[in-house]
Amino acid sequence: MEPLAFTFRGFNKELVEQLVEKIAKALQGYELKSFLVGCTFEDYLSEEAKRMLRKEFQAFLVKKLEEKLGIKADYSNADAEILVNFNQDLVFFLIKSVYIYGRYRKYARGLPQTKYYCFKCKGKGCNYCNYKGVLSNESVEEIIAKYALPLFEAPEAKFHGAGREDKDVRMLGPGREFVLEIIEPKKRSINLKELERMINENEKTKIEVFDLKYCNKDKIKELKSKKSDKVYLALIECENKVSEDTLKKILGKYEVIQRTPKRVLSRRADIERKKRAEIIEAKQKDSLIEMKIRAESGLYIKEFISGDNGRTKPSVSELLGTKCECKELDVVDIID
C-alpha cells in the first residue's frame, strides 16, 4: 500500500482532522477489525517533547481514528499498522497478512511446488528461459493463488510448504501441509470451503486442497521445523535382471551415508548426511521394479536408488549389484 503525503502545519486539531480523513480514505474498502498507530516525531525534538506528543497528539489521533473507522485500536494483534512519520511528512501502512493452513495432493508430474524461477537469470529473463524468468508455466503455489487472490482482493500470496517434492514427483496419501500467506488483503474472512471447492473442481487433474483453515504466522515456523518420515513408491529400471529372491533379501532397515547429490550442489553445501531408510516392499512390475521405501526427512530418494556415483552408500544399486535408475516416484505417506 502506497504511503500518503501530508502537509505539516504544527501539531493541532486541524492536522489531526487532515490525517484522519486521508487515512480513512486510504483504508476504504479494507476489511479491518483493529488498527494501531505509531508516530515518528522530528529528530530535532527532545525526548521529553516526543513523550508529550505521544501522550497527547498520538492519543488524540487514535481516538479520532476509532470514531472515523468504527473499529478499536489494538496494539497486540492489529489488522493494520498506521505509521505517521513527521520527518518525511508521510503516512505508511502495513496491512497484516492473512494466513491459511491446509494440505495439498499433487496428481500431475512436472508441476513444481512453488514458482520455478530460471536458475540462470534468477527470474530476470534470459535466452535459456525464453525471457519468461521461469522454467514452468505454473506451480502448486500459483494454482492456489489464482483462486485465492481475487477472493481476498490481494495483490500477491506467498506459499510456505512443510518440505517439498521434486516437480516430477506426485504427492499422494495424506497430502503435504502448507500455509498460504495472503499479502495486503482487502478481504479477510472469505469462506474457505468455497475456495476449496473452486480449486478442486477446476484443477482436479493437477492438485487437490483440503482441510483449509485460518491460522497465524506461527504456523509457518511450526511447519518448517517438522521432520517427518516419508513413504515413497518408486518404479525402478535396472541394467540387469534381478530375481525375486534378491529383492526379498534387500528388504530391511539401513543407515545411509549420503553426500550432497550432484544435481543440487549449486544450491546446497557439499556435506555428508547420515539418514535412515527402510526398504519395505520390492517386487517385479513388468520390466521394472516397484519398491516401497520409508525414509527419514532429508534423504534424497532418487540418489538412494541410483547411488549417485558412490556419493550415497548403501544404495539400491549397490544392494542389487546392478545400475538402477528411478523412473517414477510418488510420496504415498507422511509420518509425523
Catalytic residue numbers?
166
Residue 253 CB contacts under 8 Å (≥ 6 apart), including other chains: 276, 277, 278
Distances, alpha carbon 292 to alpha carbons 47, 106, 251, 270, 332, in Å: 67, 19, 10, 28, 9
- Rounded Cα distance, 110 and 251, in Å: 30
CB 130 within 8 A of CB 120: no
Helix, coil or strand: residue 315 = coil
Secondary structure percentages of the chain, helix, strand, coil, to 5: 25, 35, 40
Angle between helices 13-26 and 59-69 (to 10 degrees): 40
Alpha helix (H) ranges present in the chain?
13-26, 47-53, 59-69, 140-152, 192-202, 218-225, 244-249, 301-306, 316-320
Tell me the C-alpha distance between 40 and 51, whole Å: 11
Distance CA 101, CA 297 (A): 21
User: What Å distances lie between residue 296 and 120, 253, 330, CA to CA?
Assistant: 31, 11, 15
Q: Using the structure block, give the residue that is written with the C-alpha cell 521394472.
A: 288
Strand partners, 330: 170, 233
